Every structure is written in structure tokens, then in C-alpha cells.
């Protein structure tokens, strides 16, 4: 199966290169030359991943704006997998709800922002500010204080969560994530640590913070990949991509409770 995937990738790469070179050899007008991205899009359309590709350089079909978000306007719906613009970065929401003080709060990856960054939803056509990044926690969790115009939910696109935390599934068990770059992908949990786990799930830039779930239970926050191993950018790679690391939800909740302030006593919507 792996050999077949590699062969498919090699054939597709040669086809892309041949198309670009043929265009250059024919020397048409410069503005008529297809970009590499356009050629890749054509190939992906033929292989069932036509887009939209909402993160530059990523060629999986990104999730669109769910009907529930359209219906919530002028409020901005925020829940597990909502794409966020945090300062200059694009990331994904892990979960949204309220803390013990009654604040509306969203959680994402800690490396997505710095204290004071304005936060917007990438699914909001108005681009209105919906909150402020408060801080990065010790386990790469990021806490966002939401404004009154944000409406929190426990479901967003394919991520429908009914509970949080608890024991991780056993190694080899399937877990899934939903992120703005690569959509919903699933794979085996391959390694566990005290506060995190690795899984062979397709993910890339923009998916940071994505909810990791087993069934309807939130078990983790997607944190990052492994240096020196290619991330998942196109379905033409097949299974040839880096595993990714996640922080357990229990570790995230414990950090927020210990730190106090915004986010402490978090309860999902």
C-alpha cells in the first residue's frame, strides 16, 4: 500500500513538472503560464481534493463555513475547529465555553499568539474582532477571552463534542482532528507521554490548536509536528508525512486551573 502511494506521488510529481515545463517551452504570454498552485489544483481536482485550499501551500480541501455560523450572524460562532486569525497567525480552535468566573473563553495552541493579540474568526466575512489572546500556558495551550459578539458552541463543522478529558484511547486506537488546513483526518495513536501523545494523522500549518477527539470526546489539543520530517501538504503524499503531537485535554485543563484567571474552571459549551 505504501509502495503504491509513493508510486502515485512520483507519477503526479512528474506530471506536474512536465506540464509546467511544456508551458515554458511553448513560450506563451507570461500571464498565460499556469502557476504551480494552479497545476496542483487541477491534479487534486482529479483526485477528489478540489478545495477550497484556504491555507497557502496546503492542498487538502479546507472546511467551509458551516450553516450554523451563517445562521448565528451578526454574532460570530466559535467552537471546536473554528478557524482563528490571532494577530498575524492562522490557527484552529480547540474548544469554547465559559470559565468559573462566567467569561466566554476559547482555547487554541499557545504558540498561536502573544498576550494582547486581537482575535478574529476566519469564517466571519466582516472580520470583526471577537476576542483577545490572554496568554500562552505551560503545555502550549492558549487562552482567548471572547467578546460579547462571540457565541460559543460545542459543535462546528465535523467536530461535534459531547464530553471532554478522561483516559486516552489505547495505542493503535483511531483518533481524529479537524483543522482549517487539512480538514478532518483520522489515524492511530502511536505514543503516549505524561501530558501528551503522538498520532499518525495528517496535519499542517493552520491546524495548530485543532481539537483531537475520539467519538464525541475531546481528548487533546493539536500542538505540532516533528522537525526534519515533511508535514502533510497534499493527499498525493499518501501516508508519507510526519506524525503530529497533541497535548491531552486533562493537561490543558489542569494548567488553566492552576494558573487561575481567565480560563480557570473552563467548561465546554
Rounded distance between C-alpha atoms, residue 235 and residue 93, angstroms: 23
Which band of pLDDT confidence, cut at 50, 70 and 90, is reported for residue 8? very low
Strands 89-92 and 159-160: unpaired
Identify the top-confidence range among 2-11, 64-73, 237-246.
64-73
Count of Cβ atoms closer than 10 Å to residue 243 Cβ: 19
The residue that leads in pLDDT, 1 or 226, is 226
What is the 3 state secondary structure string of 111-128?
HHCCCCCEEEECCCCCCC
CATH topology (fold) of 67-157+255-268 = Thrombin, subunit H (2.40.10)
Per residue in 109-142, pLDDT tens?
Answer: 999 999 999 999 999 999 999 999 999 999 999 9
Rounded distance between C-alpha atoms, residue 87 and residue 21, angstroms: 39
Domain residue ranges in the chain: 2-34, 67-157+255-268, 159-250
Alpha helices in 27-154 (DSSP H): 36-46, 67-72
How far, rounded to the nearest angstrom, does the alpha carbon of residue 210 sit from its chain's CA centroid? 4
Beta strands in the chain, from DSSP E residues, in sequence order: 76-78, 83-86, 89-92, 95-98, 104-109, 118-121, 129-136, 141-146, 150-152, 155-156, 159-160, 163-164, 174-179, 183-192, 196-199, 211-214, 217-224, 244-248, 267-268
- 199 beta partners: 189, 244
CA distance to 7, 25, 177, 205, per residue, from 106 (Å)? 42, 52, 17, 19
Q: Percent of the chain scored above 70 by pLDDT? A: 81
pLDDT of 223 above 60: yes
In this predicted structure, what is the pLDDT of residue 236?
Answer: 80
In this predicted structure, what is the pLDDT of residue 28?
Answer: 30
Tell me the average pLDDT of the chain: 85
**Helix, strand, coil % over all residues of the chain, rounded to 5:** 25, 30, 45
Per residue in 31-52, pLDDT tens?
Answer: 344 455 555 566 566 555 667 8
Q: Are 43 and 234 in contact (CB under 8 A)?
A: no
Per residue in 58-110, pLDDT tens?
Answer: 888 899 999 999 999 999 999 999 999 999 999 999 999 999 999 999 999 99
pTM to 2 decimal places: 0.83
CA distance to 132, 153, 191, per residue, from 188 (Å)? 34, 27, 9
CATH architecture, domain 159-250: Beta Barrel (2.40)
Establish whether domains 67-157+255-268 and 159-250 are of one fold.
yes
Amino acid at each position: 500500500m505504501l509502495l503504491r502511494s509513493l508510486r502515485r506521488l512520483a507519477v503526479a510529481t512528474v506530471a506536474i513538472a512536465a506540464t509546467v515545463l511544456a508551458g515554458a517551452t511553448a513560450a506563451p504570454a507570461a500571464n498565460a503560464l499556469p502557476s504551480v498552485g494552479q497545476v496542483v489544483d487541477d491534479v487534486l481536482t482529479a483526485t477528489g481534493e478540489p478545495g477550497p485550499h484556504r491555507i497557502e501551500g496546503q492542498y487538502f480541501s479546507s472546511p467551509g463555513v458551516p450553516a450554523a455560523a451563517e445562521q448565528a450572524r451578526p454574532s460570530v460562532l466559535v467552537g471546536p475547529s473554528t478557524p482563528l486569525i490571532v494577530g498575524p497567525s492562522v490557527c484552529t480552535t480547540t474548544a469554547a465555553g465559559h470559565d468559573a468566573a462566567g467569561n466566554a473563553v476559547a482555547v487554541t495552541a499557545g504558540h498561536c499568539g502573544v498576550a494582547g493579540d486581537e482575535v478574529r474568526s476566519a469564517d466571519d466575512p466582516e472580520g470583526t474582532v471577537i476576542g483577545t489572546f490572554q496568554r500562552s500556558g505551560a503545555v502550549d495551550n492558549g487562552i482567548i477571552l471572547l467578546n460579547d459578539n462571540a457565541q460559543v458552541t460545542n459543535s462546528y463543522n465535523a467536530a461535534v463534542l459531547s464530553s471532554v478529558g478522561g483516559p486516552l484511547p489505547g495505542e493503535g486506537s483511531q483518533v481524529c482532528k479537524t483543522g482549517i488546513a487539512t480538514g478532518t483526518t483520522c489515524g492511530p495513536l502511536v505514543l503516549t507521554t505524561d501530558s501528551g501523545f503522538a498520532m499518525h494523522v495528517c496535519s499542517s500549518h493552520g491546524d495548530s490548536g485543532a481539537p483531537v477527539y475520539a467519538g464525541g470526546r475531546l481528548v487533546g489539543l493539536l500542538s505540532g509536528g516533528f522537525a526534519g520530517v515533511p508535514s502533510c501538504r497534499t493527499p498525493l503524499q499518501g501516508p508519507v508525512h510526519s506524525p503530529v503531537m497533541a497535548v491531552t485535554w486533562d493537561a490543558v485543563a489542569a494548567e488553566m486551573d492552576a494558573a487561575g484567571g481567565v480560563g480557570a474552571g473552563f467548561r465546554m459549551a
